[in-house]
A and B are shown apart, each in its own frame.
Chain A
Protein backbone atom coordinates (compact mmCIF):
# COMPACT_ATOMS: atom_id res chain seq x y z
CA UNK A 1 0.00 0.00 0.00
CA UNK A 2 1.42 3.38 -0.96
CA UNK A 3 0.20 6.95 -0.93
CA UNK A 4 -0.73 6.84 -4.62
CA UNK A 5 -3.12 3.94 -4.01
CA UNK A 6 -4.59 5.62 -0.94
CA UNK A 7 -5.07 8.86 -2.84
CA UNK A 8 -6.69 7.04 -5.73
CA UNK A 9 -9.20 5.37 -3.41
CA UNK A 10 -9.85 8.72 -1.77
CA UNK A 11 -10.59 10.53 -5.03
CA UNK A 12 -12.68 7.60 -6.19
CA UNK A 13 -14.75 7.72 -3.00
CA UNK A 14 -15.37 11.44 -3.51
CA UNK A 15 -16.64 10.76 -7.02
CA UNK A 16 -18.75 7.80 -5.93
CA UNK A 17 -20.67 9.84 -3.38
CA UNK A 18 -21.43 12.50 -5.95
CA UNK A 19 -18.63 14.98 -5.38
CA UNK A 20 -17.84 17.14 -8.41
CA UNK A 21 -14.35 17.96 -9.66
CA UNK A 22 -14.51 20.93 -7.30
CA UNK A 23 -14.99 18.78 -4.23
CA UNK A 24 -11.49 17.29 -4.38
CA UNK A 25 -9.47 20.53 -4.22
CA UNK A 26 -11.84 21.83 -1.56
CA UNK A 27 -11.36 18.65 0.46
CA UNK A 28 -7.57 18.85 0.09
CA UNK A 29 -7.52 22.41 1.29
CA UNK A 30 -9.78 21.57 4.23
CA UNK A 31 -7.80 18.51 5.36
CA UNK A 32 -4.50 20.38 5.04
CA UNK A 33 -5.80 23.22 7.17
CA UNK A 34 -6.94 20.80 9.86
CA UNK A 35 -3.86 18.59 9.79
CA UNK A 36 -1.17 21.24 9.50
CA UNK A 37 -2.77 24.62 10.23
CA UNK A 38 -1.76 25.98 6.85
CA UNK A 39 -2.43 25.74 3.14
CA UNK A 40 -0.87 23.23 0.73
CA UNK A 41 1.44 25.77 -0.88
CA UNK A 42 2.55 26.98 2.54
CA UNK A 43 3.22 23.41 3.61
CA UNK A 44 5.48 22.84 0.61
CA UNK A 45 7.27 26.13 1.17
CA UNK A 46 7.72 25.66 4.91
CA UNK A 47 9.12 22.15 4.57
CA UNK A 48 11.26 22.80 1.49
CA UNK A 49 9.23 20.36 -0.61
CA UNK A 50 8.59 20.56 -4.33
CA UNK A 51 5.09 21.82 -5.09
CA UNK A 52 2.92 19.13 -6.62
CA UNK A 53 5.05 16.23 -5.38
CA UNK A 54 3.95 14.95 -2.00
CA UNK A 55 6.83 12.48 -1.87
CA UNK A 56 9.06 15.52 -1.17
CA UNK A 57 7.13 16.36 2.00
CA UNK A 58 8.44 15.12 5.36
CA UNK A 59 7.51 11.48 5.97
CA UNK A 60 5.30 12.40 8.93
CA UNK A 61 3.28 14.77 6.77
CA UNK A 62 2.88 12.12 4.08
CA UNK A 63 1.66 9.66 6.68
CA UNK A 64 -0.84 12.14 8.05
CA UNK A 65 -2.32 12.58 4.58
CA UNK A 66 -2.39 8.82 4.09
CA UNK A 67 -4.22 8.20 7.35
CA UNK A 68 -6.73 10.94 6.72
CA UNK A 69 -7.40 9.95 3.14
CA UNK A 70 -7.83 6.31 4.15
CA UNK A 71 -10.29 7.08 6.92
CA UNK A 72 -12.10 9.72 4.87
CA UNK A 73 -12.62 7.29 2.00
CA UNK A 74 -14.20 4.80 4.41
CA UNK A 75 -16.43 7.42 5.97
CA UNK A 76 -17.51 8.81 2.62
CA UNK A 77 -18.48 5.36 1.39
CA UNK A 78 -20.16 4.20 4.58
CA UNK A 79 -21.69 7.36 5.99
CA UNK A 80 -22.63 9.27 2.85
CA UNK A 81 -22.86 6.56 0.19
CA UNK A 82 -26.02 6.85 -1.88
CA UNK A 83 -27.56 9.18 0.69
CA UNK A 84 -25.67 12.21 -0.52
CA UNK A 85 -28.49 13.99 -2.32
CA UNK A 86 -29.43 17.57 -3.19
CA UNK A 87 -27.77 20.21 -5.33
CA UNK A 88 -24.18 19.78 -6.48
CA UNK A 89 -23.17 22.46 -4.05
CA UNK A 90 -24.79 20.59 -1.15
CA UNK A 91 -23.24 17.31 -2.19
CA UNK A 92 -19.78 18.84 -2.43
CA UNK A 93 -20.27 20.54 0.92
CA UNK A 94 -21.04 17.24 2.66
CA UNK A 95 -18.00 15.62 1.10
CA UNK A 96 -15.73 18.42 2.28
CA UNK A 97 -17.26 18.42 5.76
CA UNK A 98 -16.72 14.68 6.11
CA UNK A 99 -13.06 14.98 5.11
CA UNK A 100 -12.56 17.98 7.34
CA UNK A 101 -14.21 16.31 10.32
CA UNK A 102 -12.06 13.23 9.85
CA UNK A 103 -8.96 15.41 9.75
CA UNK A 104 -9.96 17.05 13.02
CA UNK A 105 -9.98 13.61 14.65
CA UNK A 106 -6.73 12.55 13.01
CA UNK A 107 -5.05 15.73 14.15
CA UNK A 108 -5.60 14.80 17.81
CA UNK A 109 -3.20 11.88 17.40
CA UNK A 110 -0.50 13.75 15.55
CA UNK A 111 2.60 14.81 17.48
CA UNK A 112 2.56 18.45 16.36
Chain B
Protein backbone atom coordinates (compact mmCIF):
# COMPACT_ATOMS: atom_id res chain seq x y z
CA UNK B 1 0.00 0.00 0.00
CA UNK B 2 2.77 2.39 0.92
CA UNK B 3 4.54 1.92 -2.38
CA UNK B 4 1.48 2.38 -4.55
CA UNK B 5 0.27 5.49 -2.75
CA UNK B 6 3.68 7.08 -3.16
CA UNK B 7 3.95 6.05 -6.79
CA UNK B 8 0.80 8.01 -7.68
CA UNK B 9 0.74 10.91 -5.25
CA UNK B 10 -2.26 12.63 -6.82
CA UNK B 11 -4.55 9.72 -7.40
CA UNK B 12 -7.90 10.98 -6.17
CA UNK B 13 -10.48 11.36 -8.91
CA UNK B 14 -11.74 14.87 -9.55
CA UNK B 15 -15.36 14.11 -8.64
CA UNK B 16 -14.19 12.58 -5.39
CA UNK B 17 -11.96 15.55 -4.67
CA UNK B 18 -14.84 17.95 -5.25
CA UNK B 19 -16.89 16.05 -2.72
CA UNK B 20 -14.11 16.35 -0.15
CA UNK B 21 -13.79 20.07 -0.84
CA UNK B 22 -17.52 20.43 -0.38
CA UNK B 23 -17.42 18.63 2.98
CA UNK B 24 -14.57 20.84 4.16
CA UNK B 25 -16.31 24.00 2.92
CA UNK B 26 -19.52 22.99 4.65
CA UNK B 27 -17.70 22.33 7.92
CA UNK B 28 -15.94 25.68 7.68
CA UNK B 29 -19.29 27.37 7.12
CA UNK B 30 -20.48 25.84 10.38
CA UNK B 31 -17.56 27.45 12.19
CA UNK B 32 -18.26 30.83 10.70
CA UNK B 33 -21.86 30.37 11.77
CA UNK B 34 -22.95 30.91 8.19
CA UNK B 35 -26.04 29.48 6.66
CA UNK B 36 -24.47 26.99 4.29
CA UNK B 37 -26.13 27.31 0.91
CA UNK B 38 -24.96 24.54 -1.42
CA UNK B 39 -25.68 26.79 -4.40
CA UNK B 40 -22.92 29.17 -3.31
CA UNK B 41 -20.25 26.51 -3.15
CA UNK B 42 -18.80 26.58 -6.65
CA UNK B 43 -19.02 30.36 -6.86
CA UNK B 44 -17.00 30.74 -3.69
CA UNK B 45 -14.35 28.25 -4.78
CA UNK B 46 -14.06 29.96 -8.17
CA UNK B 47 -13.80 33.40 -6.61
CA UNK B 48 -11.10 32.38 -4.18
CA UNK B 49 -9.14 29.76 -6.11
CA UNK B 50 -9.83 30.21 -9.82
CA UNK B 51 -10.82 28.05 -12.76
CA UNK B 52 -12.91 25.10 -11.64
CA UNK B 53 -11.83 23.01 -14.62
CA UNK B 54 -8.37 22.49 -13.14
CA UNK B 55 -7.70 19.89 -10.53
CA UNK B 56 -5.13 22.20 -8.99
CA UNK B 57 -7.87 24.67 -8.15
CA UNK B 58 -9.69 22.06 -6.12
CA UNK B 59 -6.53 20.91 -4.40
CA UNK B 60 -5.79 24.50 -3.38
CA UNK B 61 -9.32 24.83 -2.01
CA UNK B 62 -9.08 21.56 -0.14
CA UNK B 63 -5.76 22.49 1.44
CA UNK B 64 -7.00 25.89 2.59
CA UNK B 65 -10.32 24.68 3.96
CA UNK B 66 -8.83 21.64 5.69
CA UNK B 67 -6.10 23.79 7.25
CA UNK B 68 -8.64 26.29 8.56
CA UNK B 69 -10.80 23.50 9.91
CA UNK B 70 -7.81 22.05 11.74
CA UNK B 71 -7.01 25.40 13.30
CA UNK B 72 -10.47 26.62 14.24
CA UNK B 73 -12.23 25.18 17.27
CA UNK B 74 -9.12 23.31 18.37
CA UNK B 75 -9.88 22.37 21.98
CA UNK B 76 -6.58 20.58 22.69
CA UNK B 77 -3.46 21.53 20.78
CA UNK B 78 -2.05 18.01 21.11
CA UNK B 79 -4.99 16.66 19.12
CA UNK B 80 -3.44 18.33 16.06
CA UNK B 81 -0.43 16.08 16.42
CA UNK B 82 -2.21 12.91 17.51
CA UNK B 83 -5.19 13.19 15.19
CA UNK B 84 -5.85 16.07 12.83
CA UNK B 85 -2.39 16.42 11.29
CA UNK B 86 -1.33 12.85 11.99
CA UNK B 87 -1.47 11.85 8.34
CA UNK B 88 -1.19 8.11 8.02
CA UNK B 89 -1.19 6.31 4.69
CA UNK B 90 -4.67 4.90 5.18
CA UNK B 91 -6.22 8.36 5.30
CA UNK B 92 -7.85 9.77 2.17
CA UNK B 93 -6.08 13.09 2.67
CA UNK B 94 -2.62 11.52 2.89
CA UNK B 95 -1.71 12.56 -0.63
CA UNK B 96 -2.51 16.19 0.20
CA UNK B 97 -0.73 16.24 3.53
CA UNK B 98 2.02 18.68 2.58
CA UNK B 99 -0.38 21.09 0.95
CA UNK B 100 -2.63 21.07 3.99
CA UNK B 101 0.32 21.43 6.35
CA UNK B 102 1.80 24.32 4.35
CA UNK B 103 -1.52 26.11 4.46
CA UNK B 104 -1.85 25.39 8.15
CA UNK B 105 1.51 26.98 8.95
CA UNK B 106 0.45 30.15 7.15
CA UNK B 107 -2.43 30.74 9.56
CA UNK B 108 -1.50 33.34 12.20
CA UNK B 109 -1.11 31.55 15.53
CA UNK B 110 -0.95 28.07 14.00
CA UNK B 111 2.74 27.56 14.70
CA UNK B 112 2.27 28.55 18.34
CA UNK B 113 -0.59 26.08 18.58
CA UNK B 114 1.59 23.28 17.25
CA UNK B 115 4.36 24.17 19.67
CA UNK B 116 1.85 24.10 22.50
CA UNK B 117 0.71 20.68 21.33
CA UNK B 118 4.28 19.38 21.39
CA UNK B 119 4.77 20.75 24.89
CA UNK B 120 1.59 19.01 26.01
CA UNK B 121 2.81 15.74 24.58
CA UNK B 122 6.14 16.08 26.33
CA UNK B 123 4.60 16.88 29.69
CA UNK B 124 1.41 14.97 30.05
CA UNK B 125 0.94 11.81 28.07
CA UNK B 126 2.46 8.38 27.90
CA UNK B 127 5.13 7.25 25.51
CA UNK B 128 2.63 5.18 23.57
CA UNK B 129 0.84 8.40 22.64
CA UNK B 130 3.98 9.79 21.09
CA UNK B 131 4.26 6.66 19.02
CA UNK B 132 0.69 7.14 17.88
CA UNK B 133 1.71 10.36 16.17
CA UNK B 134 4.04 8.73 13.65
CA UNK B 135 2.11 10.17 10.73
CA UNK B 136 2.81 13.66 12.01
CA UNK B 137 6.49 13.03 12.70
CA UNK B 138 6.91 11.52 9.26
CA UNK B 139 5.26 14.53 7.68
CA UNK B 140 7.59 16.91 9.48
CA UNK B 141 10.62 14.80 8.59
CA UNK B 142 9.62 15.10 4.94
CA UNK B 143 9.10 18.84 5.37
CA UNK B 144 12.63 19.26 6.65
CA UNK B 145 13.88 18.38 3.21
CA UNK B 146 11.65 21.03 1.64
CA UNK B 147 12.93 24.11 3.50
CA UNK B 148 9.39 24.75 4.59
CA UNK B 149 9.62 23.92 8.24
CA UNK B 150 10.09 26.66 10.80
CA UNK B 151 13.24 25.99 12.83
CA UNK B 152 11.58 26.39 16.21
CA UNK B 153 9.09 23.67 15.35
CA UNK B 154 11.81 21.30 14.21
CA UNK B 155 13.61 21.78 17.52
CA UNK B 156 10.48 21.22 19.60
CA UNK B 157 9.62 18.20 17.58
CA UNK B 158 12.96 16.58 18.08
CA UNK B 159 12.59 17.04 21.83
CA UNK B 160 9.07 15.60 21.85
CA UNK B 161 9.96 12.65 19.72
CA UNK B 162 12.98 11.64 21.76
CA UNK B 163 11.42 12.37 25.17
Report which A residues bind B (CB closer than 8 A).
4, 7-8, 11, 20-22, 24-26, 28-29, 32, 39-41, 50-54, 65, 89
B interface residues, tally (CB under 8 Å): 28
Proximity string of chain B (105-133) to chain A, C-beta cutoff 8 Å, 1 when within and 0 when not: 00001000100110010001100010000
Task: List A contacts of B31 (CB < 8 A).
Answer: 29, 39, 41
Task: List B contacts of A26 (CB < 8 A).
Answer: 27
Interface of A is mostly: helix
Q: B79 and A24: CB pair below 8 A? A: yes
* Total CB contacts across the A-B interface at under 8 A: 64
Q: Is B69 an interface residue (CB 8 A)?
A: yes
- Interchain nearest-CB distance for A54 vs B (Å): 6
- Interchain nearest-CB distance for B105 vs A (Å): 15
Q: A52 and B30: CB pair below 8 A? A: no
Q: B76 and A25: CB pair below 8 A? A: no
Given known contacts A21-B91, A25-B84, A26-B27, A39 and B77 CB-to-CB distance under 8 angstroms: no
